[in-house]
Amino acid sequence: MTAHPILGQSTLNNYFSIFADRLSNELTREAALKGLTMVALNSVSKEAEATMITISSPEIFLAPFYDLLRNR
């Protein structure tokens, strides 16, 4: 069971902006990727009433993901 339905979209947006910020820092990047992976895995539930977690502004992840790919 995921907790995102009770958090609300504004709280989720705050969390996603923190994840995007952590992706920009080399020291916190790995932990942020693990956290986002856990969020993604929890949003794909086998339960019928589970809903997908929506990111209202996915562009906040474009720059950090681009930097990750460029540095590889």
16 lies in some domain: yes
Q: Classify residue 1: in a domain, yes or no.
A: no
Domains in the chain, number? 1
Contact call for residues 59 and 10 (beta carbons, < 8 A): no
Does the pLDDT of residue 15 top 80, yes or no? yes
Name the pLDDT band for 50 (thresholds 50, 70, 90): low
Considering the entire predicted model, what is its pTM? 0.73
- Cα–Cα distance between 52 and 12 in angstroms, integer? 12
Instruction: Please indicate, yes or no, if residue 2 is contained in any of the structural domains.
Output: no
Percentage of residues in the chain having pLDDT higher than 90: 19
d(CA 43, CA 53): 6
